[in-house]
Chains A and B, each alone.
Chain A
């Protein structure tokens, strides 16, 4: 399956298994989503389970909070992560806090899917990676898969989870893995081992990272598209890097991170999002706190620049394999 098909399969499985699951958002119903992630779901499960919504992110998330309070398990879509901002109040002030402020009287078991990330000439409002705006919010879970197998298993786990989950989908990975070499043809998921996706129900547990590539010399902490970029960079630099795909950004798998950095003694954090106060800052701080006496070099961060995401300068902005490889070499020099 492609990641698109895997996500669709996850929603199909959950619509089938749990009568309280509902799926809606802009263009999600009849048309099947602008990325085809919900294609066929309305025809199969009916308009009261899968439906189109007005163009109102605040309305989509706000109604979902109300539905969750009733007892449903809404899976809603924000068409691009760049457009979640109008729903900020409902996400931060309501969904994230409902259980806490009502002492469990009401809860918000909802999943908010958002296609995110760049590398597609999406310009300023079709490329952003706003994960740090969610990881900072207590009460939210933030998840990002990097391949079809994880995408389906993590999405099912997110829908079944009783906490509100922000489910970020790197749209650059929808049809195939991408290592940052934009000049080369895209390889489809059908030619990748992680494109093998079971038809039925399975989960990939939240709060667990995956060792994407085992290695001994340096730990790369990353997620989403940057997993493949980091893999290419390690190969091109000839450095035996251990690449950790975090999968769950927050809460995260701290033991996996600490075990790897204590083993390698070096750490490079890679994400597409802008640098300052980005999620990488939290990762660097955690590594520093927990692995200080094992570190042989300063922690490196390879990230997007502190600028809005440009259109023409896409490949100067996107942290490609060359930049990641340079950071790996710097980490090895000291």
Chain B
């Protein structure tokens, strides 16, 4: 007779750090900078299995670029990258304040995640299409052709809001900047990116798609359909998983991250995978270029897990001190992306404290001026401005059907 087994029990993952405790970050399984190999562009997905469980890093603790993933030295590009990250952070800080001042109803920062979107944007080509979540504002702010004031007009739902006041703040859409319309429904864009990439392949185009999802949203079914379709049709897409450890209050282990990685899902689906230090601008740039080149050469999709930490609150409606240690971000072993690139550039002699201060000052002034300009166009919360009532009924269909024309007539009469 075998011994009677113990009663079954349900395993419910918990983070090690709760308010008042310190997080044990050993679960991250970090690799030293420069230690992880750089495969050939045509590497088979199965051969990338080790890369799904290690961590591509370029910048070491003192800010030196080391190893096979170190990109060719390009001071101008890195200076541009540092400025893009600083711009993103300055924008976020100002908009957080604007929300507290009741100029906008809602906001979401990407504090601590600035390197991922900005460096990735610099690795893409004009015409490529990103399918972002609500936390990739860096894709837009890395460019200087989308005016900050216009983004703020969206946040304020004012007379210059390109979304005509229909969308919650941060749900931007910029086709001309390769930035797909953001939806409130998580993960839906991940599979749409694969479809866009398939379309590019069907038409014999040279453009690629870049899909974005957070760690928590990988549990949604569209994550899995995206991997399957990307693999089946060898779609020219980069599948980006931003693992910032938290989905609102939920630790990444509850999304399925315990004792495994999100990059591993790629290998399991027959997709080449990388796991990359998301706070290392050089590693993000280099890995993004690798994946983009692979896609552009018809070598198939790549899944990249970007390891980072959501340093800020989930949104302006969230208070992280109720579910995690208040000083958690300071102990995150991959540090801060701006501080690390600044350290590297300073070490190279391509940046100085003086210049940093000047750039910071200029960006703060630019953001303040943009807000002033945006405010000139009013806003629902600022001066009660709302768009004309017909904009509520227009655009549901290409042409307004009879029932909506009738409802518009009623609305005008009754309201």
Q: Tally B residues with Cβ within 8 Å of A.
A: 45
Q: What B residues does A163 contact at CB under 8 A?
A: 397-398
CB–CB B198/A105 < 8 A: no
Does A63 sit within 8 A of B, measured CB to CB? yes
**Shortest distance from the beta carbon of A47 to any chain B beta carbon, whole Å:** 10
CB–CB A69/B185 < 8 A: no
Q: What B residues does A101 contact at CB under 8 A?
A: 163, 166-167, 171, 173, 181, 183
Q: What B residues does A251 contact at CB under 8 A?
A: 397, 401-403
Does B196 sit within 8 A of A, measured CB to CB? yes
Does B352 sit within 8 A of A, measured CB to CB? no
Task: Say whether, besides A101-B173, A163-B397, A163-B398, A66 and B191 are in contact (CB < 8 Å).
Answer: yes
**Shortest distance from the beta carbon of A173 to any chain B beta carbon, whole Å:** 27
Does A308 sit within 8 A of B, measured CB to CB? no
Q: What B residues does A48 contact at CB under 8 A?
A: 201-202
**Shortest distance from the beta carbon of A186 to any chain B beta carbon, whole Å:** 37
Does B346 sit within 8 A of A, measured CB to CB? no
Q: Which of B297-325 contact A (CB under 8 A)?
A: none
CB–CB B183/A63 < 8 A: no
Does A238 sit within 8 A of B, measured CB to CB? no
Task: Say whether, besides A64-B195, A103-B164, A70 and B129 are in contact (CB < 8 Å).
Answer: yes
Residue of B nearest to A49 (CB): B202
Please measure, in the bound complex, the distance between the C-alpha atom of A89 and the C-alpha atom of B225, giving whole angstroms. Answer: 13
Does A59 sit within 8 A of B, measured CB to CB? yes
Does A296 sit within 8 A of B, measured CB to CB? no
- Complex partner residue of A94 from B183, B228, B397, CB under 8 angstroms: B183
CB–CB B196/A100 < 8 A: no
CB–CB B180/A106 < 8 A: yes
Please measure, in the bound complex, the distance between the C-alpha atom of A33 and the C-alpha atom of B167, giving whole angstroms. Answer: 40
Q: Which of B175-192 contact A (CB under 8 A)?
A: 175, 180-181, 183-185, 188, 191-192
Q: What 0/1 pattern do residues 47 to 75 of A give for CB contact below 8 A with B?
A: 01100011010110011111101111010
**Shortest distance from the beta carbon of B402 to any chain A beta carbon, whole Å:** 6
CB–CB A70/B401 < 8 A: no
Does B51 sit within 8 A of A, measured CB to CB? no
**Shortest distance from the beta carbon of B400 to any chain A beta carbon, whole Å:** 10
Does A207 sit within 8 A of B, measured CB to CB? yes
CB–CB B398/A63 < 8 A: no
Please measure, in the bound complex, the distance between the C-alpha atom of A74 and the C-alpha atom of B200, giving whole angstroms. Answer: 13
CB–CB B162/A94 < 8 A: no
Q: What B residues does A161 contact at CB under 8 A?
A: 398
Q: Which of B181-226 contact A (CB under 8 A)?
A: 181, 183-185, 188, 191-203, 209, 221-222, 225-226
Q: What B residues does A56 contact at CB under 8 A?
A: 225, 228-229
Please measure, in the bound complex, the distance between the C-alpha atom of A330 and the C-alpha atom of B173, giving whole angstroms. Answer: 55
- Complex partner residue of A63 from B164, B181, B198, CB under 8 angstroms: B198
**Shortest distance from the beta carbon of A260 to any chain B beta carbon, whole Å:** 17
Q: What B residues does A93 contact at CB under 8 A?
A: 183-185, 188
Q: What B residues does A141 contact at CB under 8 A?
A: 397
Q: What 0/1 pattern do residues 91 to 130 of B give for CB contact below 8 A with A?
A: 0000000000000000000000000000000000000010
